[in-house]
Amino acid sequence: MEEVFLALPSSRRGIKKTYFSKQYDQIKDEAHGTLVAENTIGVYHDHFINYYLDFDIDGDANSFVKINLVTKKITNGKTPRKSYWTVEKETVKTELDARILLGTKPMELRPTNFFKYNPMLKVIPPSSRARSMASLHRKMSRVWRAI
């Protein structure tokens, strides 16, 4: 291994010398499995994410829609295509139905309120607990004008 040093000023009295090595000098063989380095064990593990959505942020008229991407077969033979993709929307009726087992299927999860819409197509408009980005923009523009 070639000797290379990195000089860092440590105080007014001198320079601290720090050695480092290149990555290809450290790799001796393929590191895989549980023993990834000397005295280092890599544990196989998973990450599970739990979250709670508060649907009462804009009143209690909110609902939850699962949008599944599905393949439909074409049986009439009027087109050279044999299938196409479409979405199937399922509005959840109970909290038990809102449980989702995430997997490899493509799915969109959307909290909605069918009684409120705005020009930006934001389905749940902000309320007292959520802030609009427009209000933040107005506040920041006032700050920038003051500077």
Is the pLDDT reported for residue 1 higher than 50? Answer: no
Tell me which of 57 and 66 has the higher pLDDT: 66
* pLDDT tens profile 74-112: 888 777 878 888 888 888 877 777 777 777 677 777 777
The alpha carbon of residue 56 and the mean position of all alpha carbons in its chain are separated, in whole angstroms, by 23
pLDDT-derived band at 71 (thresholds 50, 70, 90) equals: confident
Which range (18-22, 57-61, 126-130) has the least confidence? 126-130
Alpha carbon distance 7, 18 (integer Å) = 7
Alpha carbon distance 29, 3 (integer Å) = 22
* pLDDT tens profile 37-58: 677 666 665 566 666 666 666 6
Among 12-16, 24-28, 109-113, the range with the most confident prediction by mean pLDDT is 109-113
Mean pLDDT of 5-29: 56
| Strand ranges for 10-127 from DSSP E | 15-19, 35-37, 40-41, 63-73, 83-91, 107-112
